[in-house]
Amino acid sequence: MQKLSDKLYNWASILEENTLAQAVTASEMPFIYPHLALMPDAHLGKGATVGSVIPTLGAIIPAAVGVDIGCGMIAVKTQFKTADLKGKNLSALRHSIERSIPLSAGNANRRLTETAKVRVAELESVAPRNYDNITKGDWRLQLGSLGSGNHFIEVSLDEEDNVWLFLHSGSRGIGNQLATRHIREAQQYTAKNRITVPDRDLAYLVEGTPEFDAYIADLIWAQKFALANREEMMDRVIKDFQHWYGEPIQELERINCHHNFTQRENHFGRNVWLSRKGAILASEGTLGLVPGSMGTASYVVAGKGNKLALDSSPHGAGRNYSRSAARKKFSQEQLRAAMKGIEYRDTDDFIDEIPQAYKDIDIVMRDAADLVEVRHTLRQILNVKGD
């Protein structure tokens, strides 16, 4: 860990100059308290660095959460072992999952499953306003859809040959639309009140204003949607696995955690709004999930409650190359080599997700040694993504 200033602590041993400069700028906002914590997977983001933990007093920066509100991970440990899968056709399971769950940006369900109907009813009952009037499309049909980019569904094996089901997604189009709306409103608020910010994506809302209250209400709801979205998809993956295998799954453990979110927390004697943009809650004993990248290890972790890190840890590997740069640098053949032994959809659409486009997850986890304890190391044998 490095103390870069009174307002910036850093756990990343791999840190690009532009990423550091962005983090420094964010840490100097006047309402940061006690300091900004930069996680080992930190990389350049929009306004605020991805992989940063941002505590604020009396204000909140919508772009510091980002447009995928509530994005995170869910994992289920099953009773199955590696030997149980010997001779089984993983391609058939992959195709089944790809049929059950809408993949790729903009795709949604044609109709709701019975479990999705229950989850939608719960979300409707706590919605702070009518989202049909402010969003494009039917948000209900987005529940149980994956998206694209680094979102994935995997079947993995841990160090004791236990089979895990693992997936990554967030609040989909509804979360994006709400976040974009509030980022724009924050920019309008600062302009109207003649507030100068070093980056327009560091525009903020002030606590006690209607704009602030509206954002918090939508944020909390979108985080609930993201949790429900992952639960719905996991239930479908379990159903597909059971049908494919011919035997019910016994859930030995289920972990569901955000890594793009804001909540009220107490740090260094003050109640703050704690925004984790690409970071997970790692209070002492709290279980979390840290994915690597396509073709590399992921981790089940328990938090160590590091106070200087504001009870946080990294959320993944963090990018080394932008998507456009990765597509120019790497080839489909290199992706095939990286994915050797893993069942996946062989297409050049995923070149920008090649493991080499990300930081070395082993280095990230070494940097996080005083933030989390590794409980399980997962290696995927099947991967599903949206293009």
- CA distance linking residue 116 with residue 228, whole number of Å: 9
Structural domain includes residue 166: yes
- CA distance linking residue 173 with residue 145, whole number of Å: 10
Structural domain includes residue 5: no
Per-residue pLDDT reduced to its tens digit, 35-90: 999 999 999 998 899 999 999 999 999 999 999 999 999 999 999 999 999 999 99
Per-residue CA distances from 116 to 64, 134, 143, 232 (Å): 30, 22, 7, 6
Question: From the CB of residue 159, how many other CB atoms can be counted at a distance below 10 Å?
Answer: 12
Domain that holds residue 200: 67-256+283-304+316-385
Give the pLDDT score at 187.
97
Residue type for 366, please?
R
pLDDT confidence of 318, banded at 50, 70, 90? confident
Token pair 């494919």 in the structure block, residue:
244
Q: Is 35 designated active site?
A: no
Q: What is the DSSP letter of 198?
A: S
Token pair 């080499």 in the structure block, residue:
356
φ and ψ at residue 12, rounded to 5 degrees:
-95, 120
From the candidates 35, 259, 315, 376, which is the catalytic residue? Answer: 315
Structural domain includes residue 7: no
Backbone dihedral region of 137: left (phi > 0), alpha (psi from -120 to 50 degrees) or beta?
left
Structural domain includes residue 273: no
Structural domain includes residue 35: no
Give the pLDDT score at 367.
97
In sequence order, the 6+-apart residues with CB closer than 8 A to the CB of 35 are 5, 6, 7, 8, 9, 27, 55, 308
Whether 135 has a pLDDT exceeding 90, the answer reads no
Give the pLDDT score at 294.
86
Element (H, E) at 257: strand 253-258
Per-residue pLDDT reduced to its tens digit, 214-263: 999 999 999 999 999 999 999 999 999 999 999 999 999 999 999 999 99
Among 385, 324, 380, 317, residue whose Cα is nearest residue 352: 324
pTM greater than the 0.85 cutoff: yes
Structural domain includes residue 180: yes
pLDDT confidence of 321, banded at 50, 70, 90? confident
Structural domain includes residue 30: no
Q: How many separate domains does the chain show?
A: 1
In sequence order, the 6+-apart residues with CB closer than 8 A to the CB of 242 are 248, 249
Structural domain includes residue 34: no
CATH code for position 243? 3.90.1860.10
Give burial (CB, 10 Å; 0-12/13-18/19+) of 196: exposed
Report the mean per-residue pLDDT for the chain.
95
Give the pLDDT score at 328.
94
| Preceding amide of 34 cis, omega within 30 | yes
Per-residue pLDDT reduced to its tens digit, 265-295: 999 999 999 999 999 999 999 999 999 988 8
Per-residue pLDDT reduced to its tens digit, 151-204: 999 999 999 999 999 999 999 999 999 999 999 999 999 999 999 999 999 999
